[in-house]
Amino acid sequence: MNKARHNPLNSAAAHGALILYTLIALFPVFVILINSFKTRKAIFAEPLAPPLGDAFSLIGYQTVMKQGDFFLYFQNSFIVTVASLFFILLFGAMAAFALSEYRFRGNMLMGLYLALGIMIPIRIGTVAILELMVQTGLINTLLALILVYTAQGLPLAVFILSEFMRQVSDDLKNAGRIDGMSEYAIFFKLVLPLVRPAMATVAVFNMIPIWNDLWFPLILAPGESTKTLTLGSQVFIGQFVTDWNAVLSALSLAILPVLVLYVIFSRQLIRGITSGAVK
Amino acid sequence: MTALVLESINKSFGSVDVLKDINLTVEPGEFIVFVGPSGCGKSTLLRTIAGLEDATSGRIMIGGRDVTTTPPAKRGIAMVFQSYALYPHLDVEGNMALGLKQAGEDKATITARVATAARMLSLESYLKRRPAELSGGQRQRVAIGRAIVRKPELFLFDEPLSNLDAALRMATRVEIARLHRELGASMIYVTHDQTEAMTLADRIVVLRDGRIEQVGSPMELYNDPANQFVAGFLGAPSMNFLAAAPLGAPGATLGIRPEHLRVGKEGRIRGRTTHVERLGGDTNLLVTTEAGETVTVRLFGQHPHQVDEALALDFDPRHAYGFDGKGQRLRS
């Protein structure tokens, strides 16, 4: 690398700033984690002390496990998140391909219409959505949540993916057409692998809000069998008494799957975010 | 039977007419080059022949079959793209075999045809590599190989040499000419490079603004251009165009090729040299005439001319081309 551009002082300053930001960002997570391993008394006495000696306790985790349905909540969250992501990516990519690849009347208007969803929050339509779900009998099903999250994620997915798909070489798609590949084969075999980094970006941006959402599970699927993890954790928060051990333990556990999914997607994600910048 | 017939092809994007009344017949085994400046519609015409674009009106026949509404894969064509367009997830063998697999050929045929093509293009040792592991020249050879294995009735080349460096371009040009002789197939080749057009073509089709300006063998077009555009487009350095009246010639413009101008003591054109290019084999002089026009003179061999030297130029009227005010050739 060029020496002039590799000043150790600049490098140290950049790393210093990044480390500082990392510490600030991770601090709340750190506090949740250490306090989830402490007794209630220790949490309130010294929130920042590590869980050592007398302060150490697994009571929070025990409460959460005893609550019984915690694994079911976990499973519900997982199903809803993964299924929603799958449909967002599938339909988002298909719509993006159509918008970027084919010339048809109203293409531009359709693109604008789909992008409109980015600007208007879906929660404004909650009452209408609730009425619709009641009429179709989808209240208290995971399907209701999956449908709503898919609708919520599609606008941004279409917007991002169609930009990336425009960059896929026309010659490549035409070569596929001449070799006799169907439009579906061109989409799945040629175009999708090339926009994989963008897909990962869309997946991560959608995954976290869906996993953390409290609003729609509370309204559309509050039943015991369809509670998601975030909603399930609320049982420990009462109007007068809150079981902080249990809440913190539940939150700590809820971080894990997101972390795992993020690690899987992160290499692709970084390529997706930087792909426009460095080329 | 003809390799390709185009009958009054028109193509518009919205209100913009890109191709206007294109008529062309290609005989079997012919090497046809479409040449013209960028935006003249040559690539669009090629893509229309391939079926990647639909013609707004007109008829396309390949090998005697009407293919106007046939999808690209069933037209009996193969295409080589400027950007190679290799499938990044397949190795060289997979790239070449895909078209045949899609067409449902059996394994033995596919292996045999890929092996033949690989031998013709010296790609045998690269068959298991991915496109990313190949150099530009090798990638273009794979793209040509992918076209060969399909055994098409018509090969289409879309500026295949534009992404290669000068030395490789020359070598690949020779290779394409050799392939044409070996395969005896009909080929259509699009380029904006007039050297490629002159060296490869049996017949050249010169296009401008979506119209065919002239069709003919390279020497026909060079020696007998139909209009000022064709005259100026073919030949390097390009033809000089001078106001005809001061030289006592009919028409509006007189065209003289740089190699047909003589330098001497007496001459109808007087001027001063503004630049001298010494290429070893040739010497090119840029001369500004007394009338303020710039003229290129091509002298064979090496000459001791200097910048800012007063010169007189003359020409043989037999080697001068008269054009009218609209750029059409004046025939006497």
Q: Quote the minimal CA–CA distance from A179 to chain B in Å.
A: 4
Yes or no, beta carbons of B89 and A171 under 8 Å apart: no
Is residue B100 within 8 A of residue B109, CB to CB? The reply is: yes
Please tell me which residue of chain A has the smallest CA distance to B99: A179
**Domain boundaries, given as residue ranges, for chain B:** 4-230, 237-323
Phi/psi at A215 (5° precision): -60, -60
Q: Quote the minimal CA–CA distance from B109 to chain A in Å.
A: 16
Q: What is the pLDDT of residue A270?
A: 67
Cα of first residue to Cα of last residue in chain B, in angstroms, is: 37
Q: Each residue of B46-100: pLDDT tens digit?
A: 999 999 999 999 999 999 999 999 999 999 999 999 888 999 888 999 999 999 9
Does residue B9 or residue A208 have the better pLDDT? B9
- A278: pLDDT strictly greater than 80: no
Average pLDDT over residues B276-280: 93
Rounded to the nearest 5 percent, the helix, strand and coil shares of chain A are 80, 0, 20
- A237: pLDDT strictly greater than 50: yes
A1-10, A98-107, A147-156, range with greatest mean pLDDT = A147-156
Phi/psi at B151 (5° precision): 45, 60
CATH class belonging to B4-230: alpha beta
Amino acid A46 reads E
Coil, strand or helix at B157: strand
Among the partner-chain residues A169, A177, A194, the one whose CB lies closest to the CB of B73 is: A177
- A276: pLDDT strictly greater than 70: no
- Give exposure, A228-266, as e/b (b: 16+ Cβ within 10 Å): bbbbbbebbeeeeeebbbbbbbbbbbbeebbeebeeebe
Q: What is the pLDDT of residue A74?
A: 86
- What are A's interface residues with B at a Cβ cutoff of 8 A? 169, 171-172, 174-181, 189-190, 193-194
- B76 interfacial to chain A (CB closer than 8 Å): no
Q: Each residue of B169-198: pLDDT tens digit?
A: 998 999 999 999 999 999 999 999 888 999
- A2: pLDDT strictly greater than 70: no
Among the partner-chain residues B51, B82, B88, the one whose CB lies closest to the CB of A171 is: B82
- B160: pLDDT strictly greater than 60: yes
- B115 interfacial to chain A (CB closer than 8 Å): no
Tally of helices (H runs) and strands (E runs) in chain B = 8, 18
- Give me the interface pTM, i.e. the ipTM: 0.84
- Best of B81, B82, B130 to disrupt the A interface (most A CBs within 10 Å) is B81
Nearest CA among B109, B51, B105, B107 for reference residue B76:
B51
* Furthest C-alpha separation in chain B: 75
Taking all residues of chain A, what is their mean pLDDT, rounded to a whole number? 86
Does residue A22 or residue A69 have the better pLDDT? A22
Starting at the edge strand found earlier in the chain, the sheet holding B261-264 runs B261-264, B310-315, B269-278, B282-289, B294-300
Starting at the edge strand found earlier in the chain, the sheet holding B320-323 runs B240-243, B253-256, B320-323
Is residue B10 within 8 A of residue B56, CB to CB? The reply is: yes
**Domain boundaries, given as residue ranges, for chain A:** 1-57, 68-274
- B104 interfacial to chain A (CB closer than 8 Å): no
Q: What is the pLDDT of residue A279?
A: 34
Average pLDDT over residues B270-289: 93
Q: Quote the minimal CA–CA distance from B143 to chain A in Å.
A: 10
Average pLDDT over residues B107-121: 93
Average pLDDT over residues B248-275: 90
Q: What is the pLDDT of residue A86?
A: 95
- A64: pLDDT strictly greater than 90: no
Comparing A23-27, A267-271, B151-155, B226-230, the range with the smallest average pLDDT is A267-271
Does residue A263 or residue A24 have the better pLDDT? A24
- B88 interfacial to chain A (CB closer than 8 Å): yes
Within 8 A of B81 by CB-CB distance, chain A residues are 171, 174-175
Nearest CA among B327, B310, B329 for reference residue B269:
B310
- Best of B70, B77, B98 to disrupt the A interface (most A CBs within 10 Å) is B98
CA distance A170 to A176: 10
- B144: pLDDT strictly greater than 50: yes
* Furthest C-alpha separation in chain A: 73
Yes or no, beta carbons of A180 and B50 under 8 Å apart: no
Within 8 A of B87 by CB-CB distance, chain A residues are 172, 175-176, 189-190
Please tell me which residue of chain B has the smallest CA distance to A189: B89
Yes or no, beta carbons of A193 and B85 under 8 Å apart: no
Question: pLDDT grade, residue A87 (50/70/90)?
Answer: very high
Within 8 A of A194 by CB-CB distance, chain B residues are 88
- Best of A172, A177, A178 to disrupt the B interface (most B CBs within 10 Å) is A178
Among the partner-chain residues B47, B82, B102, the one whose CB lies closest to the CB of A179 is: B102
Yes or no, beta carbons of B79 and A181 under 8 Å apart: no
Average pLDDT over residues A207-227: 89
Is residue B320 within 8 A of residue B332, CB to CB? The reply is: no
Yes or no, beta carbons of B79 and A175 under 8 Å apart: yes
Yes or no, beta carbons of B103 and A177 under 8 Å apart: no
Within 8 A of A176 by CB-CB distance, chain B residues are 87
Among the partner-chain residues B81, B103, B146, the one whose CB lies closest to the CB of A171 is: B81
Q: Each residue of A139-181: pLDDT tens digit?
A: 999 999 999 999 999 999 999 999 999 988 899 999 999 999 9
Q: What is the pLDDT of residue A273?
A: 58
Q: Quote the minimal CA–CA distance from A172 to chain B in Å.
A: 4
Does residue B251 or residue B298 have the better pLDDT? B298
Which of 3.40.50.2000, 1.10.3720.10, 1.10.10.10, 3.40.350.10 is the CATH number of A68-274?
1.10.3720.10
| Domain B237-323, CATH homologous superfamily name and number | Nucleic acid-binding proteins (2.40.50.140)
